[in-house]
Every structure is written in C-alpha cells, then in structure tokens.
Structure 1
Amino acid sequence: MPFIVHVLGFATFAQGTSEFMLSGLLPALAADLDVSLSEAGLLVSAFAVGMVIGAPLLTLATLGLPRRAALVGFQAVFVAGHAAAALVPHFGFLLAMRAVTGMAYAGFWALASVTAVSLVSADRRGKAMSVVVAGLSLSMILGVPAGTLLAQHADWRAAFWAVAATTALSATAVLLALPAGRDTTAARPGLRTELRSLAVPRLWRAYATTALTISATSAVFSYLGALLEDVTGIPERLVPVVLGLYGAGALAGLIVGGRTGDRAPFGVLLTGMGTVAVVAAALAPTAEIPAVVIPLVVLLAAGGFATNPAVNARVFGILGETRTLGGAMNIAAFNVGIAVAPWVSGLAIDAGPGPAGIGWVGAAFALAALANTLLDRHLTHRHRRTTSRSAPTAVDGARATTVSLYAGHDRPL
C-alpha cells in the first residue's frame, strides 16, 4: 500500500476524532452551555450537515486545484474552526463552527478517498479505503477516549484544542508525503464528465445503502456516553474505556470488511447490517445491565464498520475512473446518515424511553439498510443477466458481462 494512503489515514484520525468525540462530551457540553442533552446532540448533526453540503460543493470548487493544496487548505480551515470554537464557547457560535469544520472535513475526506483509490489497482480499492477509514476507528480507540478524559479533567475546550493541534500535525505530514511535483490533477476528468457519471440509477441505490448503514450505528453511538452514564450506570471514569472498546470493535470490523468487501460486497453488507439489527434491538431492553451492554457495544461497532469498505467498493466500482464528484457524493451520503440518525435518536429520547430508546432507532435503520441491499442485489443481478442476453455475439456478450461485473462490483456472495 502506498505510504501516502497511510498518511491520509492519520489525517482522518485527527479530524475524525472531532466528528466522534462528542459522544463522550455531550453531557459536559450540555451542562456548560446550559442546553438539554437532545439540543447538544444537534452539534453532531450540524457537523454532518456541513459535510453533506461541503462534500459535493467543495469538490466541484477545487477540481482545478492541485490535490496537495486542496487537502492542506481544508485542514487549515478545520484547525481554525476548532480554535475559534474553543475561544468563543457560545452554543450558537459552536453550532456554526461545527457546520464550517464539517464542510472542511468533507472536502478533505472526499479528496482523500479519491486520492487513495487512484493509487491502487481496482481489486485493492476496498482495502485502500479501509486504510483511510481505519483512521476513524483509531479516533474511536484513542481520540474519543482521550477527548473524554480531557473533558473530565480539564474541560471540553481542551479536547477541541487537542484536535486542532493533531490536525495541524497531519497537515504537515500531507505536505511532506504528497509534494506538488507528484500531483495527479492532470488526469482528472472535467466537470461535465463528472456530472454525467452520476446518471446511473444503481449508483443512487448504493448511496442509499451508504446512508442507511451509517445511520444504524450513529443512532446509537451519538448518545452512547449518555446511555452508559445515565442508564447503564457505568462510572464516569470508565466511560472512555468503553468508548475505546467500541473503537476496537470498529477496527476489527474494518479489517474483516477490508479483506472481503471487494470480493463479496453484498454478502458483507447483509452480514454486517444483520448483526447491527440484532445487537441494537437487544441493547434497548438490556441497557441497564453493564455485563450485557459492553459486549453488545463492541459487536455493534464491528458489524457496522465491517460494511464500510463494502459500500465504498460498491460505489467506486460503479463509478469506474470518473470518481471525484461521485466519491464526494458518497461522503455526502455518509453524512446524511450521520445528520439524520442523532436527530431521530433525540426525538426518541424526548418521547419517553430515554437514552435506551436509541437501540430501537438503530435497529430500524439497520433493517432499512438490509431491505435496500436485498433490492440492490436483485436489481444488479437482473441487470447483469439482461446485459448478457442482449449482447449481439458470444464474444461481445462475454465482454459486456465482464464490463458489467467490473463496473458494478456485481460479484457472487
């Protein structure tokens, strides 16, 4: 795997810590800013909304820029936004800064994803993406618990400063690992070609799968810290440990998904979301039992994150070589899920069940992801058979089937 792919993984670790660390900071943030827990949860949604908007718009705006300049520019905005949020601790301003930094992170993540898959062969795209996304798992194993500890022993602002410093370090690493002389912007397609690449119906089904899979885990994870403290009764000092175990489960899932997602994306998606549906449903009625909740949390992360390389392999397989805007739209789809899920979970909490209700929300999203995956698999196989039958000659038919298999990652389970 090229070294720059690992550098991009480190950069996603730095910025991903900010995306996920609020899971452990929400109770402290709500108390300090004098807002309810569900209102504080909007900070998670604001970051995700910024990513939904920023992924396609910033990708289009930077199509003509060298990749190194664009990547580092996004990181610089991210650092400035976190410094400003720490200096001006007002809920409305913090909400705005979360949206701004979410946009910057979206631009970085979209371009980093494209850069990673463009440096490897087609059969290693899922693995390359698993390396980049592994940074997010490390942010859960190390960054989220560290941020929670900082908030417990200093305050939540210290966690924001730590994210800013780590992101600045990662920007330096990108500058050193991807010098301007090795940039690949000349090979990138133009705007019209990028827009035409989106006119594929099965691509939008894949985007729907992306949004639903991340919703299933985000519905639980966004309020996991509050669940552990308020319902499960885990001591505050041990919450970072459980969040770290969640990250370990996510990393294990990514490793398994990275090895199998290219070969059998539908099989990985069905297995992963089936696991999440069962685990999330089991979490709701057992939320008061620590001995049950902790292993369920690990299994939830493993099942959910195992699907990540598969959804990326599916999308990039359909896109082929024209992948910059299409990849950005996949980032937007991820964050539609991350934005919607905490909002729905917040509604469930306020409706009466309390934090334990987030398990039912996660299970519902997982079942929706399963249904969409089954539909996608059925339509994909039908498309493959139709393409094969419509070929004018045996030779051309074999070629058409081969192209269909490659372009859509339509592989057997």
Structure 2
Amino acid sequence: MNDEATAAAGKREALPRLTAAEWVLLLVLAALGFTHNLDYMIMMPLMPYFQHEMDISERQFGLLVASYAFSAGVSGLLAALFIDRFDRKRALLWLYFGFMVGTLLCAVAPGHVSLLLARTVAGAFGGVVSAVVLAIIGDVFSDRRRGRAMGVVMTAFSLALIVGLPIGLTLADNYGWRTAFGALAGVSGVVLVMAWCVLPPLRGHLARGPSSASNLWAALSHPLHVRAYVLMIALVFSTLMIVPYLADYLVKNVGRPKTELRWIYLCGGLSTLLALPLVGRIADRLPKLMVFRTLAILAIIPALIVTHLPPVALLVTILVSSSFMVLTAGRMVPGMAMLTACALPRYRGSFMTINSSVQQVAAGLAAIAGGLILGDTKASEALTRFDLVGYLASGAMVVSVILAGRLRPAGAEALQAVDSVTGAAPTQGVEEAIHPSPETFLDMPAAAEANSAL
C-alpha cells in the first residue's frame, strides 16, 4: 500500500500538530460518540436486570440488541441516498435529536415489546449519527493525521466505559434500569445544544456534487469498498458474539456479583482510554496494516481466556476483561483509518453510511448468533457453550487479519474522481486534492450554500 510505505518512510518526521479549531471539532465529535456508544453499550451489563424484571431469555435479549442494530443498518442505507446532499452539521444535529428521543422512549418503556420498539427508534437515528461523525473525520483530516483524529474520537468508547457504564449501573442498582436511559437522554440534550453552538458549517463535500441512487450503488459495489465492508463484518463478529453476553457470564459462571460489574467496566475503560491515543500515534508513524495485524492477533488470547474463565477473583477478572477491551478496541483505530482511506472522496459520506449499516447489521446477526449458540437458560442458571462462542469469535479475528491485507487506498483513482467533479488540475498532489485543508471544509463559498439547501 503506497500510504503505508509513505508512513513508514516518514515515521521519524514530526507529525503536524492539531489546531485549536480541530481540537474543538474532535472534542464535540467525541461527546456525540460518548452518548451514542453508551446508549448501545449500556444494554450489555443490564442483561441480568432485564432477566430479573422481565424474565427474558438469552435469545430475547439478543433480539433487543439486534433490534437497535438492524434498525440502524436499514436507516443507514436509506440515509446514504441523501446524506451527502446536506451540510454535515445540519444532518448531524437532526439525526442526533432523533437518537435522543429514542433513548428517552427506552426510559419509559413498560415492558419487553415496548422496549424493543424504543430500541428500534434509537437505532434508526443513532446508527447514521456514527456514520456522519466518521465522514467528517474523513473529510477534514488527511491520512497522516487521521489515525490521531480517530484515536481522539474513539476515546469516547473508553469514557463510556469509565464514566457512563459505572454511573448507569449505579443508577440501575439504586433506582432501576429505566433511570439509566433517562439520565442518558438528559446528557444527550446537553450535548445536542453544545454541538449546535460549537460545530461550524461542514460543507466541503458539497463541491463534489450531490448523492443519488447511482452514487449509492457506486459506493456499495465498488471493489475497494466491498473489501472494506467484508472486513467490517469480520471485525464485528469477532467482538459482538462475546460482548452482549459477557456481563451475564461473569455473574452466572464466574460468580461475580452484579454490583462489581461497574468496577470491571471502569478498569476496562481506563485501560482503553490510556491505550487508544497511543495506538493512534503509533498507527500514524508505522504502517497501519502492521499495527492492525499485531493487535488483532494479540486479541485472540484474551478472547479465548474470557470465554473459558472459571470462578476467579475480581482482580483476575478485571485483568482478563481489560485486556480483551484494550486489544479489540485498539485494533479498530488503525482498522477504521484503513477503511476510511479506501473510500473514494466523492462517495465518502455514502460509503461511511453504508459501512455503518454493514457494521450494525453484522452486530445484530452476531448478537442473535451468540444467543442461539448459548440457548435459553433461566435467570439463576449458568450459561452454556460460551466457550464455543469464543472459538468462533477467534476464528473471525483470524479472518480479519487476512482480509485487512486486501484493502487498498483510493489513491490516484480517488484523485481522478475529485478532478472530474471539482476541475482540480491534474498536477495537483493527491494529498491536497483528496484532503483539502480544514479551513476549506469549515468555510465554503456561497456556491455551496445552494447545494446544502437541496
């Protein structure tokens, strides 16, 4: 990969610093990612609470997780038809508002069916929010700095584990699980106001022309993109066959009480918070493929251990689960940077939306597959066949290592696509044509205003 060779050759060069405006942008995107990630992740450790109150099985819980994911996948494909027609800020705010409403509906859901519907609403908007966030990163940051930017935004995952899950579980212990969703909806309202006040207009992509059904098909079927979608499926299956049922396994099989779950997720989040920015800097200095493969192979070890874990002390449980969280989250930093580089710039918004849809549908299928393998057990019974889930997830990790080597950056083909739309001079450098400066994306001329009104 040409970009990989460039990164390796220049690894001793000082990386350009992020500007104050870029830091503000990344922090707001991280806040959006924090609430979105927490809304999805809070379901996992709440499984014992749902089983106690609603008497649901592992398969029914798998459907709760899958309803969010499938809804996000379908809405993402529909949004790909028009997402590149609008100012990124405007699209992000409206989608995030819908996500906030869906989360509030979860807080007032009286039973399993109503909660299933509420999760469907939250997923319909939340899945597209994450795609728009990734599209903004792809628009604003060049490949040399995208790993660092992705690492900053992905710390939202760590903060959700460190701050969000312990607080949510504390609220669930003392006031019931509905309070956790109500508090999250309130925080989302604050983040929405902050994003409206702080985010600048983001219209640079409008110069490439609006999306259409033909653009959607092009973004969906291009060989560069198809390879990225298949890799995303492998990444999701390698993690989300395990994660939805991990808390229940730790309670029922390992023997940890529900009140200790908050400390397990707190320590895992602290570990990933420290690790992800470091992984981002390493991925910018070394070949991203090498960094990804190293972390993906190492992740197999804690994945197998955590799915075979016998009754052990809390400290051992924390060490194993934290290693699993750090390595599976860490590989996503170079992985997402590589996936973003595969997108043709003209279709980046549609590509990231489709990629998010693929990710969400794969997450739903992984959750259902895990539930089917485990079977149905009563609230007081230990989980069975979780070791088989671990073997299958580890196999998906091996597949992802192989598939990552088949990715190719858009490169000169992307330059040609930009030139044909923007009229850029053929002699213009690939990096400048594909990744204009942040000021270009934050301050477009009035001509782009007409496109944003479509």
Query: Does the pair score TM above 0.5?
Result: yes
After superposing the two structures, state which structure 1 stretch, 347-356 or 161-170, moved more.
Answer: 347-356
Specify which structure has the higher proportion of helix.
Answer: 1
After superposing the two structures, state which structure 1 stretch, 114-123 or 286-295, moved more.
Answer: 286-295
Question: CA 1:281/1:347 → structure 2, altered by over 3 Å: closer, same or farther?
Answer: same
Compute the RMSD of aligned alpha carbons. Answer: 2.9
Question: CA 1:139/1:356 → structure 2, altered by over 3 Å: closer, same or farther?
Answer: farther
- Work out whether residues 283 and 356 of structure 1, in 8 Å CA contact, stay in contact via their aligned partners in 2: no
Question: CA 1:132/1:359 → structure 2, altered by over 3 Å: closer, same or farther?
Answer: farther
After superposing the two structures, state which structure 1 stretch, 87-96 or 358-367, moved more.
Answer: 358-367
Tell me if 1:187 matches 2:222: no
Q: Which residue of 2 aligns with 1:370?
A: 398
Q: Which residue of 2 aligns with 1:339?
A: 364
Shift of 1:284: 3.0
Q: Which residue of 1 aligns with 2:225?
A: 203
- Work out whether residues 86 and 203 of structure 2, in 8 Å CA contact, stay in contact via their aligned partners in 1: no
Shift of 1:10: 0.6
After TM superposition, the score normalised by the length of structure 2 is 0.78
- State how far apart, in whole Å, the 2-side matches of 1:106 and 1:248 are: 25
- Runs of 4+ in structure 1 deviating by more than 6 angstroms, as ranges, are none
Amino acid at match of 1:306: G
Q: Which residue of 2 aligns with 1:311?
A: 335
Q: Which residue of 1 aligns with 2:375?
A: 350
- State how far apart, in whole Å, the 2-side matches of 1:220 and 1:359 are: 10
Q: Which residue of 1 aligns with 2:442?
A: none
Q: Which residue of 2 aligns with 1:8?
A: 29
- Work out whether residues 74 and 107 of structure 1, in 8 Å CA contact, stay in contact via their aligned partners in 2: yes
1:60-119: per-residue Cα shift (whole Å, max 9, x none)? 233323222211111111121122222232211211111221120111111111112212
Q: Which residue of 1 aligns with 2:244?
A: 222
| Structure 2: 5+ residue stretches without partners | 1-17, 412-425, 435-454
Tell me if 1:93 matches 2:114: yes
Question: CA 1:302/1:281 → structure 2, altered by over 3 Å: closer, same or farther?
Answer: same
After superposing the two structures, state which structure 1 stretch, 269-278 or 69-78, moved more.
Answer: 269-278
Shift of 1:359: 4.7
- Work out whether residues 218 and 338 of structure 1, in 8 Å CA contact, stay in contact via their aligned partners in 2: yes
Q: Which residue of 1 aligns with 2:447?
A: none
Q: More relative contact order in 1 or in 2 (CA 8 Å, sep 6+)?
A: 2
Q: Which residue of 2 aligns with 1:33?
A: 54
1:69 to 69, 78, 90: 90
Shift of 1:21: 0.6
- Percent of pairs with identical residues: 23
The count of residues paired between Structure 1 and Structure 2 equals 388
- Work out whether residues 244 and 367 of structure 2, in 8 Å CA contact, stay in contact via their aligned partners in 1: yes
Shift of 1:340: 2.1
Secondary structure at 1:234 match in 2: coil
Shift of 1:324: 0.6
Question: CA 1:78/1:365 → structure 2, altered by over 3 Å: closer, same or farther?
Answer: same
- Work out whether residues 233 and 359 of structure 2, in 8 Å CA contact, stay in contact via their aligned partners in 1: yes
Question: CA 1:19/1:359 → structure 2, altered by over 3 Å: closer, same or farther?
Answer: farther
Question: CA 1:231/1:266 → structure 2, altered by over 3 Å: closer, same or farther?
Answer: same
Tell me if 1:114 matches 2:144: no
- State how far apart, in whole Å, the 2-side matches of 1:119 and 1:296 are: 37
Q: Which residue of 2 aligns with 1:268?
A: 291
Amino acid at match of 2:243: F
- Work out whether residues 216 and 364 of structure 1, in 8 Å CA contact, stay in contact via their aligned partners in 2: yes
Q: Which residue of 2 aligns with 1:288?
A: 311
